[in-house]
C-alpha cells in the first residue's frame, strides 16, 4: 500500500475510468454493507438479508452476484432440503474489508459531528432566505 499520494493529474490517467467504475461498485452502500456483514464469518442468504436490514432480496442477489464475479465472494451450495447456500469472503474480499470497515468506522465516529454541521448549515440557510 502506498502513502496517500497527493494526486498529480489523475483525470488524465488512462485507467481513471476503470478505477472510477470499480469505485462506483465498491463504494456502493449495499456492497459495503454486504462485505461488512461477511467479515468474520460466512453467512447464508436470508441471514445476510436480515443482518443488512432494508435491502430487497433482488438487490441482495445482484450485489452478491457482482461480488462473486469480481472474485470477492464465494458461493457454496449444500444440496440439502431445504437448500442451503453459504457466502464467504475470498482473500481478495477480506483484503477489501479492511479499508471498507475503516470507512464505516469513520462514519460511526463522526456521525454526530456531521449531523451537527448539517443542522447549523441548514439553519443558516433558513435565516438568510428571508
Partner DNA sequence: CAGTATCCCGGAGGATACTG
Partner DNA sequence: CAGTATCCTCCGGGATACTG
Q: Give residues in contact with DNA (CB under 7 A).
A: 28-30, 44-47, 54-59, 61, 64-65, 75, 82-85, 87
Instruction: For a second copy, give the closer residue by CB, 16 or 85.
Output: 16
Compare residues 57 and 102 and give the one whose CB is closer to DNA.
57
Using CB under 8 A as the criterion, which residues of the chain lie in contact with a second copy when the complex forms? 1-2, 4-7, 9-12, 15-20, 22-24, 26-29, 32-33, 36-37, 39-41, 50-54, 68-71, 92, 95-111, 113-115, 117-118, 121-122
What secondary structure does DSSP assign to 36-86, as a single string? HHHSSS-EEHHHHHHHH-S--HHHHHHHHHHHHHTTSEEEEEE--SS-EEE
- Element spanning 13, H or E: none
Do 39 and 101 touch, CB atoms closer than 8 A?
A: yes
Provide the 3-class DSSP secondary structure of residue 87. Answer: strand
Q: Which is nearer to DNA, 4 or 83 (CB)?
A: 83
Amino acid at each position: 500500500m502506498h502513502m496517500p499520494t497527493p494526486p498529480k493529474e489523475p483525470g488524465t490517467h488512462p485507467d481513471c475510468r476503470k478505477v472510477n467504475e470499480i469505485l462506483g461498485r465498491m463504494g456502493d452502500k449495499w456492497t459495503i454493507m454486504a462485505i461488512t456483514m461477511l467479515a468474520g464469518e460466512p453467512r447464508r442468504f436470508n441471514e445476510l438479508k436480515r443482518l443488512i436490514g432494508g435491502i430487497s432480496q433482488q438487490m441482495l442477489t445482484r450485489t452478491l452476484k457482482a461480488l462473486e464475479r469480481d472474485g470477492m465472494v464465494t458461493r457454496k451450495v449444500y444440496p440439502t432440503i431445504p437448500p442451503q447456500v453459504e457466502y464467504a469472503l475470498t482473500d481478495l474480499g477480506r483484503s477489501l474489508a479492511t479499508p471498507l470497515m475503516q470507512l464505516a468506522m469513520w462514519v460511526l465516529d463522526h456521525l454526530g459531528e456531521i449531523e451537527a454541521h448539517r443542522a447549523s448549515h441548514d439553519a443558516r440557510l433558513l435565516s438568510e432566505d428571508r
